[in-house]
Amino acid sequence: MKLTHQPSCLHDGLDLLIDSRWSPDQALAVIELLDDLRDRIWAHYEVALQTRFREQRVTCCDVETTDPPF
C-alpha cells in the first residue's frame, strides 16, 4: 500500500476504499455531501476554528521588538 500525505497528518487507521466504478454523478454527489458537511461544521465552530488556525500560524517572532528580516 502506498502511503500518501494526509492533511490530518494521520498515517494509520482504517483505509478508505472508493469504488473505482463510481459514475461521475456519484463522485459529484459525494463531493457535494462533503462540502455540505464542511459548511455545517464551519457554521457551528467558526470562532473556535478561526482561533485555532490563527494559533497554528503565529510565529515565535515578536515583530515589534525585533528587526524585520528584510
Between 14 and 30, the higher pLDDT residue: 30
Phi-psi category of 3—alpha, beta or left, where left has phi over 0 and alpha has psi -120 to 50? Answer: beta
CA-nearest of 21, 26, 1 to 11 is: 1
Statement: the pTM of the whole predicted model exceeds 0.85: no
CA end-to-end distance (rounded Å), the chain: 45
pLDDT at 23 over 60: yes
- Can you tell me the distance from the alpha carbon of 30 to that of 6, in angstroms, rounded to the nearest whole number? 18
The helix (run of H) or strand (run of E) holding residue 35 is helix 24-57
41 Cβ contact list (under 8 Å, min separation 6): none
Q: State pLDDT tens for residues 32-69.
A: 999 999 999 999 999 999 999 998 888 766 556 666 66
What's the pLDDT at 57? 87
